[in-house]
Amino acid sequence: MLDLDAESIYRTLLSRTRELVDGRDLRLVGIHTGGVWIAERLKADLGIAHPVGALDVSFYRDDFDRSGLSATVRPSQIPFEVAGRNLLLVDDVLYTGRTTRAAMNELFDHGRPARIDLAVLVDRGGRELPIAPTVTGRTIELPASVGVVLTRDAEGRLRLSLEQRGEDAPA
């Protein structure tokens, strides 16, 4: 059985992110929902003073016409100037790369950042686009039929689980 202790994986991600951001003026941007949770924790644990931005990339996905509009779509909030900034884009699970591509497209609609790094809790492989994380908590390999799901309990502790997907489930 695959051990997916989300808190342990988060600590690894935190350590690797600390090395990446040391001494840099950085803005965090999380992808809804899990990426925002992780970005908020990184902000606190790294002592980053700037507010966390939140992206819902639903309208930017290239499969929007197939998957339609989800009832859980939230407005994106970027409470800082993007142009010329160093950004750390944060997501929970990196799979095909399509969500990351959509997030970068949306960020560029807000201005041209100086740099975008990508931090993910879990990289599960299966890329369809040439996108790679700068920092990763854990890399795993799973069949396409298995999804990785991040949840958060009332105390803010993270949990990862595996679930079977339907054939038409978005990546």
Looking at the domain assignment, is residue 148 inside a domain? yes
Looking at the domain assignment, is residue 137 inside a domain? yes
* Count of domains for the chain: 1
Looking at the domain assignment, is residue 69 inside a domain? no
Q: List the CATH number of the domain containing 111.
A: 3.40.50.2020
Looking at the domain assignment, is residue 18 inside a domain? yes
Q: Mind spelling out the 3-state secondary structure of the chain?
A: CCCCCHHHHHHHHHHHHHHHHCCCCEEEEEECCHHHHHHHHHHHHHCCCCCCEEECCHHHCCCHHHHCCCCCCCCCECCCCCCCCEEEEEEEEECCCHHHHHHHHHHHHCCCCCEEEEEEEEECCCCCCCCCCCEEEEECCCCCCEEEEEEECCCCCEEEEEEECCCCCCC
- In order along its 171 residues, the chain shows pLDDT tens digits of 688 999 999 999 999 999 999 989 999 999 999 999 999 999 999 999 999 999 999 878 665 445 554 556 678 999 999 999 999 999 999 999 999 999 999 999 999 999 999 999 999 999 999 999 999 999 999 999 999 999 999 999 999 999 998 765 555
Looking at the domain assignment, is residue 171 inside a domain? no
Looking at the domain assignment, is residue 143 inside a domain? yes
Q: Give the domain range for residue 60.
A: 6-64+75-164
